[in-house]
Chains A and B, each alone.
Chain A
């Protein structure tokens, strides 16, 4: 499990349930690595501001993370973390590698 203060997605079933029951969702799939930690950190801060969005992380190396790793929107991604934004269960944007607070905020403003 990732050592963050975000809620964790731990299985494919939980992933499906989250997407089914929430309009706006962001999931950051990574490790506790240098490019990932700043994204979780920014998400923890943004979570307080964007109460209309559900914020989650997911460990990249668990088998069930294939739900993110194999998304068509993540094809060609070669930098951790993979951060995916969903509206009504559909992917609206996905980013690869480190993003800062402002970049994530800009996507939240635009998409949700």
Chain B
């Protein structure tokens, strides 16, 4: 078999893709996993993982490393930090091109590209990333000792991180677009009873401004359309996640209205031989455990599909 011919190519090396790789390579199915970023996916973005059964509290980095080593120990090839530049999923033999020049073929594909934090996409957001704007409270919280900050969002992450940031900041203002929060009741109560936290509801952030660092945020009240400017030292953005399926737009694989991959009960997409797993799917609960379960089922179905051919 030529070196660029595989039985299955897994796209994405988060928990779903790594699990798929563990199962398929252990079944002696020649497997390649490719990832545009770091092996581990969103696990790398997680400081502490306390709800992965069988593993006492660990870091995302450690869990990712263990999964990667497991996959490699069964003979799985993994390429990280590459650019996915083309895919051809129709037909019996599928192909994937990386970095515009290296083409790999396989009998089956497992799409496991996961998701990413949503950006606000307002002026100034890119410019002040790392200069006052952050997406990780645990990483950057201590730069905001005794500073005044805003937290944007209304889900569990926003409210929990706002509470965590009061350890450093002197004042935390939560800005949210609705008149109620989507977060669990206990997270809302925790935030409401914290004396350092105040709320600006039914409002959108329109722009971040400043010189070399973030200095001000412009806020629009959605009910009155009134625009106000607030002086701040930092802004933490937690406005949800979106699936990494941009590459599949205008391709043959069926997506739902939110750009999530639709699969049947065998985790096969609308294209024969192309399976999908993890946060990239249209599904309700996005956790490492569910990604691992999806990866298992997708791999077992892909193995059966390959062996049937």
Contact = CB atoms under 8 A, between A and B. Distances in A.
Interface of A: 31-38, 41-42, 45, 75-80, 95-97, 100-102
Given A34-B45, A96-B131, A102-B83, A78 B213 contact: yes
A68 to B, nearest CB: 14
Nearest to B210: A76
B212 A79 contact: no
B114 interface: no
A97 B129 contact: yes
Contact of A78 (B61, B138, B143): B143
Contact of A97 (B37, B134, B138, B234): B134
Contacts of A78: 130-132, 134, 140, 143-144, 213, 234
Interface in B125-170: 129-134, 136, 138-140, 143-144
Nearest to B60: A34
A95 B38 contact: no
Given A97-B129, A102-B83, A34 B213 contact: no
A7 B169 CA distance: 35
Interface in B1-53: 37-40, 44-47
B40 to A, nearest CB: 8
Contact of A35 (B132, B136, B212): B136
B69 interface: no
B231 interface: no
Contacts of B59: 32
Contact of A79 (B81, B138, B139): B139
A101 B61 CA distance: 18
A34 B143 contact: no
Given A35-B140, A41-B80, A76-B213, 8 more contacts: A33-B47, A33-B136, A34-B46, A34-B139, A35-B139, A45-B80, A78-B132, A97-B130
B47 A34 contact: yes
Contacts of A31: 139
Interface of B: 37-40, 44-47, 59-61, 80-81, 83, 129-134, 136, 138-140, 143-144, 212-213, 234
Contacts of B80: 41, 45
Contacts of B81: 41-42, 45, 100-101
Contacts of A45: 80-81
20 contacts: A32-B61, A33-B136, A33-B138, A34-B46, A34-B139, A35-B139, A38-B38, A38-B44, A41-B38, A42-B38, A76-B212, A78-B144, A78-B234, A79-B143, A80-B139, A96-B129, A96-B131, A97-B129, A97-B140, A101-B81
Contact of A100 (B37, B138, B143, B212): B37
Contacts of A35: 136, 139-140
Contacts of A41: 38-39, 80-81
Contacts of B213: 76, 78
B19 to A, nearest CB: 20
A31 B46 CA distance: 13
B38 A37 contact: yes
Contacts of A79: 129-131, 133-134, 139-140, 143
A4 to B, nearest CB: 10
Contacts of A95: 130
Nearest to A100: B37
Given A45-B80, A77-B130, A101 B212 contact: no
A51 to B, nearest CB: 17
